[in-house]
Amino acid sequence: MKKTLPFLIALFFGPFLFAQDENGDLLSLLGEESTVEYATASFKTNRVVNGHSLENTAAGVLDFKISHRFSPVRNGIYDLFGLDGATIRFGLDYGITDRLMIGVGRSTKEKIIDGFAKYKILRQSAGKRNMPVTLSYLVDAQIKTVKFPEEERENYFSSRLYYTHQLLIGRKFNDQLSLQLMPTLVHRNLVLTRAEKNDVFALGAAGRIKLSKRVTLNAEYYFVLPDQISSDYTNVLSVGFDIETGGHVFQLHFTNSSDMTYKGFITETTEDWFFKSAEGKSMSGIRFGFNISRVFTIVKPRGLY
């Protein structure tokens, strides 16, 4: 009866109601929100490569991630193009609601444990509610648990802590193209020299191009504003492919960072894609890497059995 009543109202009184108001009062009367169309699948996962994308893990879904960044490919077959060495991160992301997700991870590099929360402030939509962009806010904290290099000196727990605040502003232009900007602040409680800043501002840009139903081309770049970090560090550029296979998404990419935490790939990337050594020899800091994402439904949405 609950399902047939709105149908009967629309059938018998629809012409009259629409004649009274062309803005769709009938839909308001029936409580319909189907005229609001939200943009979906801007990216295949909640990561572009190293950093976050516009996407959130759905409510009640657990996303288990395994990430590898190998050594630079420049040594060729001797170390199997970098595959002999790797840094690894394991992560768990969970959707509390369709707007709010949280996650934790553990990296082998510096034995970092990280945790984050990401909330969608605005959602790109069309129709009755028109919003041209998606806006998300990310807060991320990292703790370095590796032993202090000089344990006999007075060391502070606060020196292990790092924080990141990031806005993700983006738009899915069509099924083929999505773009986003990521203004980012990384706070480091401890820096190596007085010349370095505790607060580092960076601007990221990322995009996705759809190549086929299951394959996309992704790229991201983070530009660190001048005079904030050591001249030994450089900006990070990553390019790769997302391949969807049912419940898995494989992200295969090339990057010049061995790190998968914000403080690492934004403020501590040491090698460019192409550079010259102190001896004038042409070198490459390109590394192969991958993320594997596997999702599990923990809480089923209401109405599904």
Q: Are residues 27 and 46 in the same domain?
A: no
pLDDT, the chain, mean: 87
Output the pLDDT for position 255. 96
Give the pLDDT band (50/70/90) at residue 127. Answer: confident
Instruction: Using the structure block, give the residue that is written with the tokens 């319909």.
Output: 32
Output the pLDDT for position 3. 46
Contacts of 100 (CB under 8 A, 6+ apart): 56, 117, 118, 119, 120
Q: Please tell me the distance from the alpha carbon of residue 41 to that of residue 10, in angstroms, as a whole number.
A: 33
Q: Are residues 52 and 5 in the same domain?
A: no
Output the pLDDT for position 152. 77
Output the pLDDT for position 49. 96
> Do the domain assignments include residue 244?
yes
Q: Are residues 17 and 125 in the same domain?
A: no
Q: Are residues 100 and 167 in the same domain?
A: yes
Share of the chain above pLDDT 70, in %: 88
| Tally of structural domains, the chain | 2
Quick one: average pLDDT of 190-211? 93
Q: What is the pLDDT of residues 62-71, one digit of tens each?
A: 999 999 999 9
Output the pLDDT for position 160. 93
Q: Are residues 18 and 67 in the same domain?
A: no
Which parts of the chain fold into alpha helices (H)? Answer: 4-20, 25-30, 262-267
Q: Are residues 14 and 119 in the same domain?
A: no
Residue 76 pLDDT > 90: no
> Do the domain assignments include residue 304?
no
Q: Please tell me the distance from the alpha carbon of residue 5 to that of residue 92, in angstroms, as a whole number.
A: 44
> Do the domain assignments include residue 305?
no
Q: Are residues 279 and 132 in the same domain?
A: yes
| CATH assignment at residue 83 | 2.40.160.40
Distance of CA 133 to the CA centre of its chain: 16
> Do the domain assignments include residue 101?
yes
Q: Are residues 237 and 107 in the same domain?
A: yes
How far, in Å, are 10, 99, 123, 125, 170 from residue 56 at the CA level? 36, 7, 11, 16, 13
Residue 239 pLDDT > 50: yes
Verdict on whether the full-model pTM lies above 0.75: yes
> Do the domain assignments include residue 121?
yes
Output the pLDDT for position 100. 97
Domain that holds residue 126: 40-297
Residue 151 pLDDT > 80: no
Q: Please tell me the distance from the alpha carbon of residue 216 to that of residue 47, in angstroms, as a whole number.
A: 13
Q: What is the pLDDT of residues 156-195, one digit of tens each?
A: 889 999 999 999 999 999 999 999 999 999 999 988 888 8
Q: Are residues 78 and 196 in the same domain?
A: yes
Q: Are residues 9 and 123 in the same domain?
A: no
Output the pLDDT for position 276. 78
> Do the domain assignments include residue 149?
yes
> Do the domain assignments include residue 2?
yes
Q: Are residues 24 and 145 in the same domain?
A: no
Output the pLDDT for position 15. 41
Q: What is the pLDDT of residues 23-33, one digit of tens each?
A: 444 444 445 44
Q: Are residues 172 and 217 in the same domain?
A: yes
Evaluate whether 72 touches 87 at the Cβ level (below 8 Å). Answer: no
> Do the domain assignments include residue 302?
no
